Amino acid sequence: MDKKLVLNNENDTILLAENIESEKFPNMVIVLNGELGSGKTLFTKAFAKAMGIDDNVTSPTFTIIKEYYNGELPLFHMDVYRLEGEADSIDFDYYYNKNGVTIIEWGDTIKEYLPEEYLELNFKILTENKRVVYIKPIGEKYENLCGEI
């Protein structure tokens, strides 16, 4: 049950993040794919804000993982773009099972390390401000979640 949504501006991306955040649960994993500037980090910032995280959320491009503990649940924000074959050095399962929400930017580069179930969002740039996002639930609990958003 894939969904396709057109995001006409940044506010639409923020609303999508808030909508998905309202359905969050412990050990939730969200995988964000898309070219540079397509909205992955904006989505994560909005999701974090909706969780009550007041830290300045930025892409962990060079640190790979940033952890936030001052929200409703812990948030583990990963940017795996620069791992370049070094994914074995990260214990992904540790984060997937830490009772928080894990958001992974560029998750399509580590498919073999993803859990059995997750929510995948694929962003595509249409114009300077307009995006399309394809929402793909992997596993039953994420299919149910998609029915709610």
CATH of the domain at 87: 3.40.50.300
Q: Give the C-alpha separation, 37 to 54, whole Å.
A: 23
CB of 44 closer than 8 Å to CB of 32 = yes
Is 140 part of any domain? no
Q: Is 138 a member of any domain? A: no
Q: Give the domain extent around 12.
A: 3-133
* pLDDT per residue as tens digits for the range 38-80: 889 999 999 999 999 998 887 766 668 899 999 999 999 998 8
What is the Cα 68 distance to its own chain's centre? 14
Tens-binned pLDDT, residue by residue, of the chain (149 aa): 688 999 999 999 999 999 999 999 999 999 999 998 888 999 999 999 999 999 888 776 666 889 999 999 999 999 888 766 677 678 889 999 999 999 999 888 889 999 999 999 999 999 989 999 999 999 988 988 887 77
CA 33 – CA 104 distance, rounded (Å): 8
Residue 47 included in any domain: yes
**pTM, to two decimals:** 0.93
Do 90 and 16 meet the contact criterion of CB atoms below 8 Å apart? Answer: no
Strand 101-105 vs strand 28-34: parallel, antiparallel, or unpaired? parallel
Question: Does residue 141 form part of some domain?
Answer: no
